[in-house]
Structure 1
Amino acid sequence: MPAIRETYQTLSPDTLQYLRQIPALFAYEEFRRQPARVGRVTEIQQLQNALRITLAIDPHIPPIPHDVLTTIYGNLDINTRNLEHCRTHWALKDVDLPTVLAEHNLSGNARLLPQPRPPKVFVSYSWDSPEHRQWVAHLAATLRSNGIDAILDQWHVRGGEDLAAFMDRSLREADRVLVICTEGYYQRAVARQGGVGYEHTMVTGELMRDVGSNKFIPIVRQSGYQTQVPPELSGRLRYDLAPGPNYAAQLETLIRDLHNVPTPIPPLGLNPYL
């Protein structure tokens, strides 16, 4: 609608705040034939040449099967004549989504409440080898599959983009930063070389401003005395993700930490001698 287009064509702070307050439908392109989900847009970032949208799925609304979704395209104002259901985009519709879902028994008794913003985590590492880059990407993908908005240069940097600006923005906006400590990272960090050196200079500066910060988490892949951690992080609790029997437990503890879900503490019992 022209009125909606005119109101929201410029993403002012008030507009962004409003967009974060309304329920949203997240669907795949038609050919994927995947179920749609309902949730909220929790963050909209205006980057150099694009928008980056962070979303949170409402766990109380079950997935909407593709075959069911196609039957309510008209109710959702999804225009199939211009192939809107076949291309990647986002759009604001003059549609009462909760009412449409309720009328088709797709929401149950859920209230479509606002969803919390997923924890945002920046992964800082060195390009030691193709295998190491793949390992880092797998770790970041695992975090994303567990509800953590992992930011990784392999996914979020486009050709021609300013790498220094990306690193600065990512470090500044992240809730936590995973520092993947390898020998290559250690050497570049200590010598302040390349992108790792630039990132670590910012890490050191932030730690100096807030010594008690727990924002930066060392992650090591090799257990034992060969592990090298930059001096600024050497005394901080690290997670050991080296292959072995402890990997799954360490990864689970890391994910709990990033979600700010503390490990349950057993209740304190009575003194048995009283």
Structure 2
Amino acid sequence: MQNTYYNLLMSGNEEAWTGTSWAMECSRVFEHTHDDVKRPFAALDDVALGSLMSFPTIFAYEKYLRASARVGRITEVTRRQSEFAFTFAFDPTVSPIPYDTFMALLRELDIESKREVNRSHWAVKNVDLARVLYGAGLTSSPTLQPQARPPRVFISYSWDSPEHRAWVAQLASSLRHDGIDVILDQWHLGLGEELSAFMVNGVRESDRVLVICTEQYVRKGQERQGGVGYEQMLVSSQIMRHVGTNKFIPVVRQTTGVAPALPDDLSGRMYVDLSDGPNAHVAYRQLVHDLHNIRTPLPPLGPRPAAL
């Protein structure tokens, strides 16, 4: 089954496939999909979504944008009230497909050349995508490999000031641009939703947690004040259950003192300093590499020196 189906995600938003996540209205799912193809997945339950995520995916733009398409995988799907939110990863072995090349392949890809390329939707096609790409000289292999889910990161911080909130949002935007799926209250927490549940799910379901350590955050955490105090209790409980975990990363943003202040539960841990200064950019790149688990390669081990 995995070799004979693929997903088509078509969007009219020019920024849709520039990050690692997007959302599609529920009413647009299975548009331009044959009934026989749709039937096994029509329930859209966990089993059906798991099957759909196992298929390769074309991420395309509507015709008027004349933009290149990408190939990859849907790595996670979240059901919301009126839409499906999903994260995705591009296949590094498949280069972007130029607009003219993509349009020339519409028939082989079972994409209708008039209405379908002018409509944002999620379709499923009974086509061996790997074979089509290989036949067009776009890949060097007739198979496509699964793609890893982007790292998911939850940001814990205090609302020190409007300027600090904007700084945190900018950090989150930069991380998303660098392929990291960030969970941030400013984006993911709606009015009327339960703050404690958001915190619990964010800490529990993320791969890493960035703890933005301003002086005010550290003070509130130590005094167990408000949301910061609650998040610090969550951090403490996870550290106690998983001794030695590196899930929580202290991110320092401070203006006073030589030695940065850290919450008690995170003291003694390696931190990254993103305080304003000439080294902030280097520290940010270090953070991105760590979140992607990119390690500095060890130099080769040389032979034992001869006796003097």
TM range (shorter): 0.7 to 0.9
1:238 to 271, 278, 284: 271
Instruction: Tell me, in whole angstroms, the C-alpha distance in 1 between the residues paired with 2:104 and 2:190.
Output: 37
CA distance in 2, matches of 1:166, 1:49: 19
- 1:105-184 pair list within 5 angstroms: 105-109=137-141, 111-184=143-216
The aligned residue for residue 224 of structure 2 is 192
Give yes or no for contact 1:220–1:240 (8 Å, CA) kept in 2. yes
Aligned residue identity for 2:281? A
> How many Å separate the matches in 1 of 2:187 and 2:167?
14
1:257-272 pair list within 5 angstroms: 257-272=290-305
Check the 8 A contact 2:151/2:180 in 1, yes or no: yes
% of aligned pairs identical?
A: 49
Contact 1:192 1:198 in 2 (8 A): yes
**Are 2:86 and 1:14 equivalent residues in the alignment?**
no
Instruction: Quote the residue 2:100 is aligned against.
Output: 67
C-alpha displacement of 1:117: 1.7
Q: 1:251, 1:73 → 2: CA distance?
A: 42
Give the CA RMSD over aligned residues.
2.5
Supply the AA of the counterpart residue of 1:53.
F
Could you tell me how far 1:73 is from its partner in structure 2?
3.4
- Rounded to whole Å, the distance in 2 between the matches of 1:246 and 1:9 is 52
- Check the 8 A contact 1:120/1:176 in 2, yes or no: yes
Deviates further, 248-257 or 106-115: 106-115
The runs of 5 or more residues in structure 1 that have no matched partner are: none
Which letter does structure 2 place at the counterpart of 1:103? G
Shifted more, 107-116 versus 163-172: the winner is 107-116
Distance of aligned partners of 1:138 and 1:31 in 2 relative to their CA distance in 1, 3 Å threshold: farther
Structure 1 residue 22, shift from structure 2 partner: 1.3
**1:35 Cα shift?**
1.6
Match of 1:261, SS state, is coil
Deviations 1:23-56 (A, max 9, x none): 1011234444332110111222335664331111
Q: TM-score, normalised by structure 1?
A: 0.87
Which whole-Å CA distance do the structure 1 matches of 2:303 and 2:214 have between them?
A: 47
Match of 2:125 in 1: 93
> What TM-score does the superposition give when structure 2 sets the normalisation length?
0.78
Structure 1 CA distance, aligned partners of 2:190 and 2:39?
A: 29
What SS is found at the alignment partner of 2:175?
A: helix
Which amino acid in the other structure matches residue 159 of structure 2? W
Measure the CA separation in 2 of the matches of 1:32 and 1:122: 33
Give unmatched runs, 5+ long, in structure 2: 1-33
Asked whether the 8 Å contact 2:60–2:69 carries over to 1, the reply is: yes
SS for the counterpart of 1:27 is strand
Counterpart secondary structure, 1:42: strand
Q: Which residue of 1 aligns with 2:239?
A: 207
Q: Aligned pair count?
A: 273
Q: For the Cα contact (< 8 Å) 1:61–1:110, is it kept in 2?
A: no
Q: Mean alpha-carbon deviation: is it higher for 153-162 or for 31-40?
A: 153-162
Does the 8 Å CA contact 1:60/1:110 hold for their aligned counterparts? no
Which is strand-richer, 1 or 2? Answer: 2
Residue 86 of structure 2 is aligned to residue 53 of structure 1: yes
Contact 1:40 1:114 in 2 (8 A): yes
Instruction: Name the CA shift for 1:219/1:112 in 2 (closer, same or farther; >3 Å).
Output: same
